[in-house]
Every structure is written in structure tokens, then in C-alpha cells.
Amino acid sequence: MEGRDDEIDRRLIVKEIPTYGIVGQKQSMILHVDDMPAEPGAHARVTIRRDGKRLGSADLPTGEDSIVEFALEHAGPTVFEIEIDGRDGELTLANNRAVVVVNGVRDRLRVLLVSGEPHPGERTWRNLLKADPAVDLVHFTILRPPEKQDGTPIRELSLIAFPIRELFEVKLDEFDLIIFDRYRQRGVLPRYYYENIAAYVEKGGALLESTGPSYASSFSLYRTPLGEALPAEPLGRVLEGGFKPRVTDIGQRHPVTADLPGSGGGGEPQWGRWFRLVDVGVTRGLTVMSGSEGRPLLVLDRFGEGRVAQVMSDHVWLWSRGFEGGGPQAELLRRLAHWLMKEPDLEEEDLRAAVHDGKLEITRRSLAEEPPQVRITTPSGATSELTLDAAGGGRWTGSLPAEEVGLYRVDDDPLTAFAASGALNPIEMADLRSKPEILAPVAAKTGGTVLRLQDADVPEVRKVRPGREASGNGWIGIAANRDYLVTGIDQVPLLPGFLALALLLGTALIAWWREGR
């Protein structure tokens, strides 16, 4: 056996980790660091990365189970890289790291829909959100502002007071998405609550604003503290007249609008017209759809850690009614809502990798027009670069043979993706020390022994009878069991029968003739 008795190694074991977890809730994993041989009181530095970004590090005691808490930020798979510092002189660093995948699941998306002036499109938003069983919808329609007096006795009123403090102060952070549908300043919300909403978005919330004509007036939400979070500044003009919404050039590459059914792929859209558009100037963000006179129709933006979307028309309901053939309003609004809530499948900058049929397949989504170049690290540590090819819709793809077993890493700063060829954390890498006790039972059963090459010269190999000692001073034996198994017999004639008979008779005649002389 090769190796030494004083070999040193350290390994990381992920003893427990959930396969699935609720987004936003605390989860925990159990890590165990083994020092071989053990060092009393030793600690190891553990570093954890989540989706390629450093999550934190800590010193964990060796030889003990340690609980580490974490949280999932989005639905879908989240990749955790866990790595421990190596020891001096250890055999390998390959078992000092582990990669695990936890799938995030959202628990009842909470959506707050606040409708202003009643209009036909209000039902479109409500039907879309109520149709999704995973959405917990809270919907309020402002039917009567506070300044409007009504002499009806309170006990006979069907309406309730708008719970502004409960929604926009106490429970605001509980909502995953806030939608304002044709809402304008009506004296219902004090400025303080608009500031709360802006802070909610900046801290990671999601806001969708579907504008009406009032957005171009002095009652616009842009004239409130919430305007700081809105990317579209009203220009005081409302464009009336039929137009077909179009996907812009950058919208053709954005996952919210790329490959929308009926978009025409840059040509004439195959959907119905809208008839109203609020003219705005885009101060930041991306215009992914345009309307009348090429003016912005759908604007997407990031504000702080949150996201904002603005639809500059209140005529999306025409598509749901099938006017002039209708349009993909359900698909568009679904993508829009999920992009706002940071679903990984709708990220405009995304990197994916997977191993299929012996090939490492890479998919990169990007708004850039230039082909991206990714860096690939194989399980053995070798690196190479690959330029991806355009696949349309903002996607770039590439592949190469996955000849090694283990974990491949693909980087396109700041994005990182992993793909496993074979087992993600192979058991063969768990303990790489050469230990005679593993082979000793087999050797003992066959009458042999286990020797280290460092302790002796190359032994002489001898054949021994079964049951005899199979090792000694300077030699090892191989049992000559002489065991065999007949698996079949094939008989092939040397000569055909008539030829053999003729040869036999000929030989007999020659012998008779010779003896007769």
C-alpha cells in the first residue's frame, strides 16, 4: 500500500440541510468539520457563498456539529458554496468544500391592490390576481374620498373606512407587491404614508403603478414623496388615439417582454390597439414597450433594493376583452408581477449551467448586444474561456464536452453558475487517507497481509497452496487454487468423413501391398 501512517486531512460534512425552504424565513444547516487526526480545541474558518456572493464566515469547532442559519431570497434553486480553510500538509483540499442546492418556495404571495377611479380595467387586475391560488389578494377601491359628505346613517352604509394606518404603516412590510391602479391624490393618504411606501420599495419591496389621465395632472402620484421611486415623469399631456403597443429593441432582450405571443419579433404586432397614453419622460430605468408616437408605455426600474414598474395606459383591459383580437395581457402581467418579485427565471442578467449527455451546456441571459465570454473551471481546477453564441430573445448559449466527473464552475462576473457531472459531493472524496484497516479484513480472510511500501522493499511474489500462509518476511503469496469452470465444448471434425475413409482405405492397401512383397 502506498502512503504514510501520519497522513493529515481535513474534511467538511454537510450533515443536514433542507431540500426546500420558504422564501424569507430562517432556515438552518448542520455542518461538521473533521480533523484527521483530531486536534483538541481546534477551530476551522468556514466561508459560505450564496449564488456566488459571499454570505459570511465564522470559526467552527472541529469534531462537533455546528448549526448555521440562513435565509432564501428568491423562489427557485439557491446554490450554497461552503468552504473551510485547509491545514498545513493535508492530503487534498478537494474535500474542504461542498456545494448544496436549496429550492425556495413562496408561501402565499401577499398583494395589495389599491384602485382609484372605477374603470373597466379594474376587473382585469382583480381577475388575474384571484386566478392564482398562490396569491393572497387585499383589494381596496376608493369609492368616496373623505371630503365628500354623505348623510346616510353609518349603520346603513355598506362601505368601510379605508384602513390606511394598518396597511401603510403596521403591515406594509408584509406585502410582496403593491399595485396602484389609476390612483391619484384624493386626500386619503397623508404624505407620511407615501414616504413609507417609497422606503418599503427602497428596502426591497415591489411597486406596480398603472396610470390613468390623472397622472398628467397636479394630483399625480409623482407629485408626492412616492415620486422619488417612480422612473417616469409626467409631461402634462395625454395622447388619445388608437395605437398598437410595440416591444422596443431592448424589450426584445428583456425577459418580461421578449418573445411575447403576437409581438411580431420586431415587425407589426399581431394584437389589438389601445386608445390612451400618458406622455412621460423617463428619468431612469428601461423602456421595454412603446405606444403612440413611440412614447414610453412600459417602464421598468430598480430603486434601491426594490423594483418598480409603470404602465402608462389604463387600456390593458381591451386585450382581455378580445378587442381586435385581444392580446397577451395575462402573460405580460404575470411576467411583470414575477419580475417585480425577483423570480430567477425573469432576471435580465442570468447565468445557468447543466450537464446533459456528456456536455456542459451554458445559457446566459443579458441585455448586452456583444457576445459574452464565460470562464469555466473544471473539477480538476483547469480553467478555460468560451464565447457564447446568440440564441435570440436576449439569450446566449454554448457547450463543451464534460469529460471530468465532479463540479464545474462557470463565471461571468458577477454571475456564477454550477453544474455537476456525476455526484455533486462524491463519497470517494470523503476520506482520502490510505488506511490499512480498510483492507485488513479482506487480507485476513485470504491469509494475506497489508504492507506499506515506505516500510519495506517491493516484496517477492510467490505461488502458495490454498490454506497456507500467504505472506512472510519480504514476500507475499498468491494462492494457486487451480480452480476452473468448463463453460462449453465445441467439436470440429479434422477431415470430412468420405475423405477420412478414403485415406484409411488407402493406408490399409499400401500396408498390405508392402507386406506382400
| pLDDT profile of the chain (517 residues), mean per 10 | 74 88 89 83 88 85 90 84 84 80 84 83 79 82 62 60 77 89 81 90 93 89 92 93 92 91 80 93 94 94 95 91 89 90 87 89 91 89 90 91 85 85 68 76 76 70 77 77 80 80 88 82
- Give residue 28's pLDDT: 92
- Give residue 393's pLDDT: 86
Reference 317, options 231, 412, 212, 445; nearest CA is 212
- Give residue 230's pLDDT: 94
Query: How many of the other CB atoms lie within 10 Å of CB of 511?
Result: 10
Contact 398, 405 (CB under 8 A): no
Q: Between the CA of residue 26 and those of 36, 115, 201, what are the distances in Å?
A: 32, 34, 22
Residues 283-292: tens digit of each pLDDT: 999 999 999 9
Please name each of the domains of the chain with its CATH number: 9-106 (2.60.40.10), 109-340 (3.40.50.880), 351-421 (2.60.40.10)
Which grid cell is 508?
490399409
Cα–Cα–Cα angle for 213, 218, 219, nearest 5°?
A: 70
What would the 3-class secondary structure string for 35-55 be? EECCCCCCEEEEEEEECCEEE
Which grid cell is 92?
487534498
Reference 131, options 109, 157, 99; nearest CA is 109
- Give residue 376's pLDDT: 93
- Give residue 46's pLDDT: 92
DSSP conformation letters of 118-179? --THHHHHHHHHHT-TTEEEEEEE--S-TTS---S-GGG-------HHIIIIISGGG-SEEE
Tell me the C-alpha distance between 229 and 413, whole Å.
Answer: 28
Contact 142, 122 (CB under 8 A): no
Which grid cell is 44?
476551522
Tell me the C-alpha distance between 494 and 515, whole Å.
Answer: 29
- Give residue 229's pLDDT: 94
Place of cell 395581457: 329
- The one-letter amino acid code at 58 reads A
**8-state DSSP, 85:** P
Tell me the C-alpha distance between 427 and 438, whole Å.
Answer: 15
Buried b (16+ CB within 10 A) or exposed e, 466-503: eeeebbeeeebbebeeeeeeeeeeeeeeeeeeeeeeee
Tell me the C-alpha distance between 212 and 122, whole Å.
Answer: 12
Strand order in the sheet with 306-311: 135-141, 109-115, 177-181, 206-210, 306-311, 296-303, 286-290, 246-247
Helices (H), 160-310: 164-165, 191-202
- Give residue 454's pLDDT: 66
